Structure 1
Amino acid sequence: MDARLPAHLEVSGLIRSVEAAGGFGMVLSKGERDAGTIMLVLLENGRDARAYERLPQLDGTRAWHCTRREDPAERLAFSEYVARRGEQDPDLWVVELDVAKPERFIGHGE
Structure 2
Amino acid sequence: MNERLPTQLVVAAMLRRTNDAGGFGVVLAKGDPQAGAVLVVARARGGPVRLLERGIGPDGRPGLIDATPADDPDSYIARRRSRDPDLWVIELDGADSERLAAESLDVD
- Give me the CA root mean square deviation: 2.0
Q: 1:82 aligns with which of 77, 83, 100?
A: 77
TM-score normalized by structure 2? 0.84
The corresponding residue for 2:106 is none
Contact preservation (8 Å) 2:18, 2:24: yes
SS at 2:48 equivalent: strand
Structure 1 position 5, deviation (Å): 1.2
Q: Provide, for residues 21-64 of structure 1, a one-character-per-residue CA deviation record: whole Å limited to 9, x for no partner.
A: 11100000000000111010000222211011111358875321
Contact 2:43–2:97 (Cα < 8 Å) also in 1 = yes
TM-score with structure 1 setting the length: 0.82
Query: Which ranges in structure 2 are unaligned for 5 or more consecutive residues?
Result: 104-108
Between the aligned partners of 2:98 and 2:20, the Cα distance in structure 1 is 15
| Amino acid corresponding to residue 47 of structure 2 in structure 1 | R
Deviation at 1:14, TM superposition (A): 0.3
Q: Which 5+ residue runs of structure 1 have no aligned equivalent?
A: none
Aligned equivalents of 1:53 and 1:40: distance in 2?
6
